Structure 1
Amino acid sequence: MAAIGVVGLAAKQSRIRNISNTVVKVKQILGRSSGDPQAKKYIKESKCSVVEKNGKLQYEIDNKLISPEDVAKLIFSKMKETAQSALGSDVNDVVITVPFDFGENQKNALGEAAAAAGFNVMRLIHEPSAALLAYGIGQDSPLEKVNILLLKLNNVLVYKLGGTSLSITVIEVNSGIYRVLATNTDDGIGGVCFTEALAQHLASEFQRSCKHDIRGNPRAMMKLMNSADVAKHSLSTLGSANCFVDSLYDGLDFDCNVSRARFELICSSLFSKCVEAIKKLLEQVEFTAEDINKVVLCGGSARIPKLQQLIKDIFPNVELLSSIPPDEVIPIGAAIEAGILLGKENPSLEEEALFIECSAKDILLKGVDETGADKFTVLFPSGTPLPARRQHTLHAPGNTSSVCLELYESLGKSPMNEENKFAQIVLQDLDKKEDGLHDLLTVLTMKRDGSLHVTCTDQDTGKCEVITVEVAS
């Protein structure tokens, strides 16, 4: 969160007076174009005005246009200043963590913003990988590695509930190699949802005691949000928390005590969403709870005791790793990776983990079955190690002179629609056949950066079309 020149907690406090000039979730827009569905959703929800100029998205703050990259640079500058103050020396080298579903453009934009703030970016690593590094998973001794291979592969579920999103990833660990089997991110739930639910409860209590409904008053509700946020954090360690707001509305102070049990009741539907997401991801990879060997908790909101208990209930016989404060797990993993790269590795970490880029989503080819119904063939399942190459022969009716092949992407078994289509390739001027079929060979090559190269060839005539999709997943 950032306001002009103010970052973090200070910005969060100042949004009471300055909400229209306060930027939140900057990484949701960083490196994205205006046509990106995620960017459109963000622009619609943003309290700070977002406009497009010269093909780029920018924030309009106090009649000035500020790019997302400049906001990210400000945040990195503040982080650099904080680190130097804590260490008492210059801080230049850095490892940055990114969500698994970050595209190449987003990674580049983030790296450039860090470089502009004076950092030497040694490496960008995925957040789930950093979480595993924090606990030394996959960094075992050679003998331990052999034992793991003889028994079964180590499957780890990384559960990250941050302020604005929920991200769950299943990773297969094999001799220091991390392979993502499946991942899913839900931007519709995060720690702020719990804060908002508590703030709504406090507004109801204020109405009951003071006879004023303040839900339509942005300033008063923002005061309640700040108080609810503090109370939420307290309830992770205490049985109750006091919410006091000076001059909440019309000169009236507000004082209310909330128990942990009441908070859990208020947020019961949110807790249900948080655990249902785990079950859906396990279904996606056709796993049961017994197929998971470890669960790693990360993200500030994973501190909530009720959530931890619900996760334990799903995995009663699985080791739940929460000894490191969840909001520190990913930064610690990044610091360990930085130490490895600088040659200052922890003695217990004998070698660096090998990171393999994988496809973030299923890539499917649309065809038609014998009945004429749409048929989707998965060519790159999510988690496919990159680079990768696939080929598929598509049969089309011989009486047609052109064929359109459509590519789709998906995060699971949800039904396909036009929003999932990201590319198409058209093969024209085919020789018609009285009977028989056109045999079309499609070869797809996905590079490490997620870009996709597609070649489609008519086997009879050799006619060929080629397209390249810069970022396919």
Structure 2
Amino acid sequence: MAPSKKGGKTAAAPVVAHDEDDLIQVTPAMKQQAAKFKAAGNNAFSAGRYYAATAEFTKAIECDPYDHIFYSNRSACYANLDQHSKACADARRCIELRPDFAKGYSRLGFALFKAGFLHDAMNAYERGLTVDPKNNNLIEGLGEAKLAQKAKIEAAKLSAQMDNVTLDEHVIGIDLGTTYSCVSVWRNGEAHVLTNAEGDRTTPSWVAFTEQGRLVGDAAKRQAAINPKNTLFNIKRIIGRQYSECAHELELMPFDVKEGEGGKPIVSVDVNGEKKDFAPEQISAMVLQKMKATAEAQLGVPITKAVVTVPAYFNDAQRRQTKDAGAIAGLDVLRIINEPTAAALAYGLDRREGENGEVIKNQCILVFDLGGGTFDVSLLNLQDGVFEVLSTAGDTHLGGEDFDTSLAAFAQKEIEKERGADIFTGDEKALRKLRTACEKAKRELSVANHANIECFIGEIEINMKITREQFEKVCEPTFQRCLDSVKRVLSDAGKKKEEVDEIVLVGGSTRVPRVQGILTEYFDGKTLNKSVHPDEAVAYGAAVQGAILAGVRDKQTSRVLLMDVVPLSLGVECEGRQFAKVVQRNTAIPCKKKSEFTTVYDNQDEIDVRIFEGERSNTDGNHLLGEFQISGIERASAGEPKIDVTFEVNTNGLLTVTAKDRVTGVEANVSLQHDRGRLTAEEIERMCAEAEAMAEEDERLARMREYEGTD
């Protein structure tokens, strides 16, 4: 909405997630009709008929979407109906339209209070008091929130004592997803998924930089169509990779990504009118900060420790840089665990006993984890609380986003046939609108046989009907790619498909009917297991692991044992760029493996050790993890010196390599902490400081937006 003029000054411009083409011209007649709906709503509200009142205020908003009173009144209705997320959204919209309206802050504080976000409620009341210091509703609301916060802290202390864990030992579990993230914590004998300030259990993994400041989560995603160059998403697809490896992903990203030092991808955005570069870890850290804040608001205590999940097929660099992101976010990441393994925990904890109460001796389960941006399949053996991963496979560049891409490409061609080939030329906003519309249609097609792809491209209204059959035909090649990993994971474990007892579906993209169809067909009609929540199971499992690391010992966690595997073979480069495997893929971790190597030339006294991961026989097709040199080895004829190279993989799946000459005793090693784009300790410290400064700036700008009123 364009800022209004009053008294010769420009009023505070609210943040509106709409394109100017979408604005409604409100006529006097529409305002008059809106007033009638408002009066009817007030009468219904006074009579305690909150559903009826909500309907009337909604009609008023449809007539005049820019009157702050309507949102304020509807917020009160939603709060009384315990629809806290909607109540908060309306109160925030009211404040955006009239930052000097004290009741808007009162509405927001009340909604947050009822939702359990006491710290945020206190902030809302305090901000309102700067507008109207003598407002009794704000004063009383603040007092109630403070008392409730004090009670919540006392309850947290008591709960912590019951869980045999001190407050500073709470370890949260975070599913850092490509498209959505989720946070959970173990309390009172079970994992609890925590809701964010908007009342949602998952948060979009999106970050945006706007004139009004930085946005993270749903607020960032909502404004993407009007700010595509500064709205960042799918960062998980480029973290830990080389710029040269990201060509396909970069084609689909409307924001600027350039090649940085060491061939690392660097994201470039406008911040306060200046170009600023961010490493992928920094952007992921912003999402992790959001999850950390969500946990702190819900638990009422500071959070410093976490378990973070990654795709099973993430390589060493991707795991390390994810851990760096946690450090930048102010989290001590105690453990990195694989997403399907975490989901298996969520599935297995409730299935230790059979139908007649007997202990399950052995169960082979296949976890099929298809998320927004990554895909994993793991085969596990579950026996009396022991979760043993037999094999894992997957594709870190396959997920629901690829379905969106295929559907958007199809829709674009169809629209260009009808409207002209130049309708989308050079228009990033138009392409983002189309992609968002396609994502919405994809979701609808999971429950219906047809949907409409609807959006405005400039003044042109797009309304394209799409059937489930068309969608499945367009995406069939992508669907079939999923089966390749399923077949591979069975082959690696030496299992036949008939030996699989359960096929557990995880990840939002498993809701697509055709995905379920190809699995059912491949497993000869076997019923798929949908008992775990597809969006929350991974965070749930991470919370279980967090509880174990925090020292919680109860009926559920005391007998849990995780036995994961190395997803990719690890080894060194030999003469002729040949790849010599030291640790075979699907080796159980933690593990320590040793191989013997020797010299190529006579009197050679040093060797370069280049470390790779992958399955190709030639290192050109594998991923370089790092390299180091060992000097002072035995001078002898070629082939005589004996150098032991030892690979050690810890419980996080992170690697240390050591080389030692048997005769001279010289030794060299590398923990791969600073190789191939990994941040140094100094860089992490600098980025931590930047993250803190940016969080403070976010808070300052938020206060300015809410305090600044019209003249």
Q: TM-score, normalised by structure 1?
A: 0.78
* SS of corresponding position for 2:330: helix
Amino acid at match of 2:511: R
Deviation at 1:419, TM superposition (A): 4.7
CA-to-partner distance for each residue in 1:1-54, whole Å, 9 max, x for gaps? 221232334433322221110111334455x5x867667886786433346889
Separation in 1 of the partners of 2:467 and 2:301?
42
Deviation at 1:452, TM superposition (A): 1.9
Specify the alignment match of 2:269 in structure 1: 60
Specify the alignment match of 2:561 in structure 1: 354
Specify the alignment match of 1:466 in structure 2: 668
Separation in 1 of the partners of 2:592 and 2:308?
29
Is 1:363–1:407's contact at 8 Å kept on the other side of the alignment?
no
* SS of corresponding position for 1:188: coil
Separation in 2 of the partners of 1:301 and 1:263?
14
Structure 1 pair 174–416 and aligned structure 2 pair: CA distance change class (3 A): farther
* SS of corresponding position for 1:272: helix
Note if 1:110 corresponds to 2:325: yes
Specify the alignment match of 2:220 in structure 1: 11
Alignment of 1:268-287 (within 5 A): 268-287=476-495
Separation in 2 of the partners of 1:24 and 1:41?
15
Structure 1 pair 81–431 and aligned structure 2 pair: CA distance change class (3 A): closer
Is 1:362–1:410's contact at 8 Å kept on the other side of the alignment?
yes
Structure 1 pair 343–42 and aligned structure 2 pair: CA distance change class (3 A): same
Is 2:360–2:383's contact at 8 Å kept on the other side of the alignment?
no
Specify the alignment match of 1:388 in structure 2: 591
Deviation at 1:195, TM superposition (A): 0.9
Alignment of 1:98-137 (within 5 A): 98-100=310-312, 101=314, 103=316, 105-115=320-330, 124-136=336-348
Write 1 or 2 for the structure with the bigger share of strand.
1
Separation in 1 of the partners of 2:649 and 2:614?
19
Structure 1 pair 220–178 and aligned structure 2 pair: CA distance change class (3 A): same
Specify the alignment match of 2:442 in structure 1: 232
Q: How many residues align?
A: 450
Deviation at 1:362, TM superposition (A): 0.8
CA-to-partner distance for each residue in 1:231-288, whole Å, 9 max, x for gaps? 0001111111122223x24x22111221111110111111122222322333344443
Q: 1:147 aligns with which of 361, 366, 373?
A: 361
Note if 1:49 corresponds to 2:253: no
Deviation at 1:304, TM superposition (A): 0.5
Structure 1 pair 201–345 and aligned structure 2 pair: CA distance change class (3 A): farther
Deviation at 1:426, TM superposition (A): 5.3
Q: TM-score, normalised by structure 2?
A: 0.55
Amino acid at match of 1:198: L
* SS of corresponding position for 2:447: coil
Measured on the aligned residues, the alpha-carbon RMSD in Å equals: 4.0
Is 1:427–1:456's contact at 8 Å kept on the other side of the alignment?
no
* SS of corresponding position for 2:233: coil
Is 1:359–1:384's contact at 8 Å kept on the other side of the alignment?
yes
Of residues 254-263 and 175-184 in structure 1, the stretch that sits farther from structure 2 once superposed is 175-184
Is 1:293–1:318's contact at 8 Å kept on the other side of the alignment?
no
Write 1 or 2 for the structure with the bigger share of helix.
2
Separation in 1 of the partners of 2:400 and 2:468?
16
* SS of corresponding position for 1:282: helix
Is 1:292–1:318's contact at 8 Å kept on the other side of the alignment?
no
* SS of corresponding position for 1:321: coil
Separation in 2 of the partners of 1:196 and 1:456?
50
Amino acid at match of 2:516: Q
Deviation at 1:337, TM superposition (A): 4.8
Separation in 1 of the partners of 2:516 and 2:295?
31
Specify the alignment match of 1:262 in structure 2: 470
Of residues 229-238 and 402-411 in structure 1, the stretch that sits farther from structure 2 once superposed is 402-411
* SS of corresponding position for 1:290: helix
Note if 1:90 corresponds to 2:294: no
Q: Percent same amino acid at aligned positions?
A: 24
Structure 1 pair 240–168 and aligned structure 2 pair: CA distance change class (3 A): same
Is 2:566–2:585's contact at 8 Å kept on the other side of the alignment?
yes
Is 1:111–1:121's contact at 8 Å kept on the other side of the alignment?
yes
* SS of corresponding position for 1:326: coil
Structure 1: unaligned runs, 5 residues or longer: 149-153
